[in-house]
Amino acid sequence: MIMSISRRATPADAEELVRLRKVMADSVAGPNPDVSWQPAAAATLRDRLADPAGSLTAFVVDRPGGGLAACAVGTIEHRLGSPGNPDGTCGYVFSVATDEDMRRRGYSRACMEGLLGWFRERGIRKVDLRASADGEPLYASLGFVRTPDPAMRLSL
């Protein structure tokens, strides 16, 4: 049996997952010194990761010497059923990140493969994500395709 280099995250990984989320956000939108959101995000992750049957999980790769090198976080969303998705459940992937000095080692792929396996075990057959230009080749190699649905957002 081949051992994966990724593992499922635990509540003890919350702070490192939040740190990697900032790495991801900064790489997409540019550096942002605001870290005021981090304590609440870590608390949410600690709570949600503590429930192994819950609807949120993360897969991580440990950094040699401590901390995390990479992660992929995902959640199961429940919507109304539709053609091709009668029960309305779908997966959503977010916070896929690898520290800059640890890139090009297959860590994000390992995390994504673990996360996709988790979705499959849960019976999820549709998984969405938003891809950066840097991430799109990885996602395409895993079978993701562009959809015609444009994303929109309203901040309240």
Q: Where are the domains of the chain?
A: 7-141
* pTM recorded for the entire structure: 0.93
If pLDDT is split at 50, 70 and 90, which confidence band does 3 have?
Answer: low
Q: Give the whole-angstrom CA distance, residue 92 versus residue 74.
A: 5
Average pLDDT of the segment spanning 135-142: 95
For residue 44, CA distances in Å to 15, 60, 103, 149, 155 come to 11, 17, 27, 29, 21
- Calculate the average pLDDT of the chain: 94
Q: Give the whole-angstrom CA distance, residue 84 versus residue 61.
A: 33
Average pLDDT of the segment spanning 59-79: 97
Q: Which amino acid is at 127?
A: V
- CB of 138 within 8 A of CB of 112? yes
| Domain made up of 7-141: CATH architecture | 3-Layer(aba) Sandwich (3.40)
Asked if the model's pLDDT at residue 17 lies above 50, the reply is: yes
- Enter the tokens of residue 101: 């000095």
